Structure 1
Amino acid sequence: MTLSIWNHRGPVTGPWTKKQGETLTLGFIGGSITDGRPRHNWPEPVTAWIVEQLPGVHIAVENAGIGATGSDLGSLRAERDLIDRGTELVFVEFAVNDYDEPVEKRGRTLEGLLRKLLADPKREVVLVYTYIQSMYEYMMKDEKPPIIAQYEAIAEHYGLSSVWMGLHALDEVKRGHMRWEEWLPDGLHPTNRGSYSYGTSVIRFLAAERERSLTEAEAASWLERRQTAMEKPLDPRNWQSASLVELTDVQTTGPWVLRRLNGIPWIDRTLETAAVGAKLSFTFHGRGVALGFDFGKTSAEFRYRLDGGEWQTEVRERPDWVGTDGWFRLSILALDLEIGDHTCEIEVIHGKSSNCNGTNFRLGLIGQLP
């Protein structure tokens, strides 16, 4: 098998139709490799190239990449962070952070995220794949790692183009154009040189797309293909219909505050307490429920029960790299309930983990899952 860095399926045409004075809004979503805060990740050279190519066009960027998050959380925040902000061309990067997720679950979450983005036929979406060391043996044998094969099948179904940035960087290493430590100094996160390699692969893709010529009939055919795919999802239980419960609809007992979280813009507001024994409850509709937290070593743990059943205690790992707070972490409490209305009750507790150093309970999101 010969692996391909670039897979040109559905065309990317929107940027090249922009006229002077108009605005093009780019969207990026993924994990730490896409996160805009370091200011050297691959969206930076890609954005710079687009700015250069479109003089007189106003370029807006919505970088919704958040470290240590996957397509499950991505699908729950797609509306607020990408769709409601008017993104027109969106790059989706989750092959690394979804790698250890169950195959069925990650298929549902990624497909749900893509379907939310594709619901607007004018929005163009490109999948991009970075690199984790677990992919090495597959790639050195010219094989697709299972997650790449799975995500390529989803891309094929929806006619979405893709760029295998990790394969492009590995090829540069194999040809002696870049040292491994220049690519991945810590084994996972590229800095300037590695990010530039990733960005270059996307730039080459976009340059080819700009030169790509489609007849009106071919363009219409691609739109029809997308519409057909939207009518027939690969997994009917994908997370397209995943939605949020408003924090203002939560019932509380004890000292709680609904607070604007200025330090973490993706979370916006948290319903929070530091009181052991404080309780909350809410209703949700669907087959499952997920909670998103501002999480860290000073975070509380909690116990919960669904529909009046047995109490269960959440025990979350706190890796060494985690700070006192600042990780937008998702806890999925249920996935396979009978579809319908359900109740969830939660009580704040102090965790038993040796590095649970506080009782801060900061709830930023409640997702009801299809």
Structure 2
Amino acid sequence: MPDTDTGVPGLTPGHAWIVPRMGLPRVCAKRAGDGDVTVAFLGGSITEGAGASAADETSWRALTEKYLRKRLDGRLLRCINAGVGGTDSTLGAHRLREHVLREGQVDLLFVEFSVNDGEDREESLRGMEGIVRQCRRLSPATDLCFIYTGAEKNLTSLRPFNIAVHEEVAEHYGIPSINFAAGVYGLIQEGRVEWGDLAPDGYHPNDEGHARYAQFLREYLDAALFAGKSVSSGQIRKLPGEPLIAGNYEHAAMLIYEAADYSEHFRIRKLRPNEPLMNWRYSTEHVFAEASGASLTFQVEGRGAGMLLLCGPDTGILEYSVNGAPYVAVNPFDDWCIGAYRPVPVLFPALEHYGELQVKGRNTGRKDERSKGTGLRILKLLTS
């Protein structure tokens, strides 16, 4: 990032890993007035607290919550942990309504997906822009802030691919961004830390790493919220009419599995305590069928549809059809399925225009050679 004046009191050219842009006017206005403050954290396992000795005490999310409680002078602070391990911005856009906005208006939303997003630039843009546009449409006063955490691919003097893509969205919408990875890289170059000492597995910070992340964010929040004058909530930037990319996930959502019609083969299940689960803190209630030909149908309005499956050691191969097209087989089984169940999104190819989608799905009765069964477990239906 350029080593230039930030234009924010309390931030210096040495804070080059901070790009303040339009700032946090909503929270500034709340700080100057009355009322409770709601802060949400949407991201992957690092936001959830992976690597910390106690996720709700020593993670960067938990430490930021403690900091805000102290600085907001006893004002009631409600924090929402919407971090889910292994999820990218695509699923984040689908999760936003249920895991964040269903609890009411949010004052500040931190978004962290720079490590989990892949190498597909357009898909990453769809996810990040979808989160922004959906949030500003459904909770228009919300301040957003992008967070970029460290990994080998992000620790470089050049702007890494995933961070560069997210910055396209941040710049277009005036969203501040805090580049934890760049902050860590600077410390490494100065000989003050080693990456392996902060994140032994190369991704998930230990307590020291989480504390470094929290310190980077505190330096921005000290300046943005407490060093200068409060900003009127009337200065909130309106949603631009033209998106960066057509087909972004502005209208993405997770729907309850009950929104579909199922054949008699399906049963409602929950994972048993002895069945291993990863990357999901929410209810495991789902519909399950293992018989060949077990089928479901559902209808949604949008450009795309899909399913959020609960995949694990006994997952089989399914197939789907949209609007009468030929069935397409999907094998969601991968190496992670061998050891535990976890949510796996299966998104069907999007249509060119918004409209009605008639979706059919069925169990093929076939399986990957590594799988122990032909199970089809559906947690949620997806629409975009």
Range class of TM-score, shorter chain: 0.7 to 0.9
Aligned-partner Cα distance in 2 for 1:147–1:183: 21
Asked if 1:69 is matched to 2:87, the reply is yes
Asked if 1:361 is matched to 2:380, the reply is no
Aligned-partner Cα distance in 1 for 2:73–2:227: 20
The AA in structure 1 aligned to 2:261 is Q
Q: 1:256 aligns with which of 234, 256, 266?
A: 266
Q: List per-residue Cα deviations over 1:236-261 (Å, max 9, x = no partner).
A: 42211224454323121123234577
- Displacement of 1:64 in angstroms is 0.6
Identity of aligned residues (%): 23
Aligned-partner Cα distance in 1 for 2:351–2:327: 17
Aligned-partner Cα distance in 2 for 1:335–1:164: 32
- Counterpart in the other structure of 1:29: 42
Q: TM-score, normalised by structure 1?
A: 0.87
CA separation of 1:321 and 1:243: change in aligned 2, threshold 3 A? closer
Asked if 1:208 is matched to 2:223, the reply is yes
Contact 2:293-2:365 within 8 A present in 1 as well? no
Contact 1:10-1:160 within 8 A present in 2 as well? yes
Contact 1:285-1:368 within 8 A present in 2 as well? yes
- Counterpart in the other structure of 2:315: 299
Asked if 1:128 is matched to 2:147, the reply is yes
The AA in structure 2 aligned to 1:184 is A
Aligned-partner Cα distance in 2 for 1:338–1:108: 15
Aligned-partner Cα distance in 2 for 1:244–1:294: 14
The AA in structure 2 aligned to 1:35 is E
Choose 191-200 or 281-290, whichever is displaced more.
281-290
- What SS does the corresponding residue of 2:100 show, helix, strand or coil? helix
- Counterpart in the other structure of 1:289: 305
Contact 2:313-2:337 within 8 A present in 1 as well? no
Contact 2:154-2:181 within 8 A present in 1 as well? no
Q: 2:24 aligns with which of 12, 16, 22?
A: 12
Aligned-partner Cα distance in 1 for 2:33–2:75: 5
Number of positions where the alignment pairs a residue of Structure 1 with one of Structure 2: 358
- Displacement of 1:103 in angstroms is 1.1
- What SS does the corresponding residue of 1:231 show, helix, strand or coil? coil
CA separation of 1:71 and 1:267: change in aligned 2, threshold 3 A? farther
Contact 2:27-2:143 within 8 A present in 1 as well? no
- Counterpart in the other structure of 2:244: 234
Structure 2: unaligned runs, 5 residues or longer: 4-15
Contact 1:169-1:183 within 8 A present in 2 as well? no
- What SS does the corresponding residue of 1:168 show, helix, strand or coil? helix
